[in-house]
């Protein structure tokens, strides 16, 4: 399998006051393969959006590296290289309404990237490209002359998808693209994203706050907690054999369809909420809520180890088979 994205020990810190550092992304490493969907899951505030925005260069990196097709995206790039990266990597946002300029017609919103990258040779070709894109995402030609407020939430997300597709990207970060939509609309948008992936050989980084949302769309899943990656495995393996106490807690919060199973299973209930990531001491970031925490967990951050082939976990209780 060909690697398209490599994130290595990535850090993104923010200064939030005198001597106060928010470690939104702290030492995160993972790899995304070409053509796959990598699901990134965690509670709100865990740093998953910041991670996405750092990968796509909306934020600089505090430390570590992001390699896209071998190119260090935060390194010294020529103008042409930078331009090409911003074409190839696109983002779809949670709230399409906030990300669509209310004063612009759909025609001009979708054509933003076409204009920025000089992809159309004439006004006529530009208009035709937009109309084709609207069709691809399930909208119609006449929608091009309307404004964002004239559309439903699901339609607005389709406009956001058309805008991302306009520059012919190969990698799309979808930051909670369905979280703000009605349940009945969610499946439609997921199906559209899947269809586009097949037709255009797209790679997705699919961000969600709920494991059940990424289960069916993701090939592999990474679970984030408070700026760190807790566990990473194929979607099937993660659901069948969760190793990290946090993943176990997340999974046990998903209701089972069978009431008998639901009755008989043991639940891991997390006490408290996600603590502040400001001035976090050196520790396992999950230690304040972990039912299995020991003294070591409060003093030392566990390293990611490959517990089984392709199944990575950061927990002192899981020894590395190689050590």
> Which span (40-48, 57-65, 85-93, 290-298) binds ligand SF4, by CB under 6 A?
290-298
Complex with ligand SF4: residue 8 or 316, whichever CB lies closer: 316
Q: How many CA atoms lie within 13 A of 257 on its CB side?
A: 1
CA distance 2 to 302: 29
Shortest Å, Cβ 306 to ligand SF4? 16
CA distance 72 to 77: 8
Look at residues 206, 188, 240 and name the one whose alpha carbon lies nearest to residue 51.
206
Q: CB under 5 to 8 A by kind: which of Mg ion, ligand SF4, none does 315 bind? A: ligand SF4
Among 16, 167, 185, 317, binds ligand SF4 (CB under 6 A): 317
Among 250, 290, 304, 307, binds ligand SF4 (CB under 6 A): 290
> Which span (137-145, 162-170, 182-190, 311-319) binds ligand SF4, by CB under 6 A?
311-319
Shortest Å, Cβ 279 to ligand SF4? 19
Assign 3 to helix, strand or coil. Answer: strand
- The verdict on 242 binding ligand SF4 (CB under 6 A) reads no
Q: CB under 5 to 8 A by kind: which of ligand SF4, Mg ion, none does 89 bind? A: none
Among 251, 284, 304, 307, binds ligand SF4 (CB under 6 A): 284
Question: Count of CB atoms within 10 A of residue 121's CB?
Answer: 8
> Which span (2-10, 129-137, 145-153, 315-323) binds ligand SF4, by CB under 6 A?
315-323
Question: Count of CB atoms within 10 A of residue 279's CB?
Answer: 12
Task: Enumerate residues 6+ apart whose C-beta is below 8 A from 142.
Answer: none
For 278, phi then psi, to 5°, come to -85, 130
Complex with Mg ion: residue 143 or 156, whichever CB lies closer: 156
CA angle 224, 10, 56 (to 5 degrees): 90
- The verdict on 224 binding ligand SF4 (CB under 6 A) reads no
Among 37, 49, 54, 157, binds Mg ion (CB under 5 A): 49
CA distance 29 to 165: 27
* Residues forming beta bridges with residue 39, ordered by sequence position: 206, 221
Site residues, ligand SF4 (CB under 6 A): 244-245, 284, 286-287, 290, 292-293, 297, 302, 315-317
């Amino acid at each position: 399998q060909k690697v398209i994205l490599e994130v290595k020990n990535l850090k993104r810190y923010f200064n939030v006051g005198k001597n106060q550092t928010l470690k939104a992304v702290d030492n995160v490493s993972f790899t995304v393969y070409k053509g796959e969907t990598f699901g990134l899951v965690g509670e709100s505030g865990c740093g998953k959006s910041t991670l996405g925005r750092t990968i796509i260069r909306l934020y600089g990196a505090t430390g570590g590296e992001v390699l896209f097709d071998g190119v260090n995206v935060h390194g010294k790039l020529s103008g042409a290289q930078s331009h090409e990266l911003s074409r190839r990597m696109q983002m779809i946002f949670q709230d399409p309404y906030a990300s669509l300029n209310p004063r612009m017609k759909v025609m001009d919103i979708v054509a933003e990237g076409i204009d920025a990258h000089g992809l159309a040779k004439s006004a006529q070709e530009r208009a035709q490209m937009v109309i084709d894109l609207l069709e691809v995402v399930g909208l119609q030609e006449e929608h091009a002359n309307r404004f964002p407020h004239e559309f439903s939430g699901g339609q607005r997300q389709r406009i956001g998808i058309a805008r991302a597709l306009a520059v012919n990207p190969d990698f799309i970060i979808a930051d909670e693209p369905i979280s703000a939509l009605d349940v009945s609309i969610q499946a439609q948008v997921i199906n559209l994203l899947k269809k586009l992936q097949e037709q255009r050989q797209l790679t997705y980084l699919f961000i969600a706050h709920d494991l059940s949302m990424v289960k069916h769309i993701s090939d592999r899943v990474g679970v984030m907690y408070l700026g760190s990656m807790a566990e990473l495995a194929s979607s099937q393996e993660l659901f069948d054999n969760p190793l990290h106490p946090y993943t176990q807690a997340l999974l046990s919060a998903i209701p089972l369809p069978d009431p008998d199973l639901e009755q008989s299973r043991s639940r891991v209930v997390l006490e408290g909420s996600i603590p502040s990531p400001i001035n976090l001491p050196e520790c396992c970031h999950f230690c304040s809520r972990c039912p299995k925490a020991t003294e070591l967990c409060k003093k030392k951050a566990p390293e990611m180890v490959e517990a089984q082939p392709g199944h990575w976990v950061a927990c002192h209780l899981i020894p590395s088979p190689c050590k």
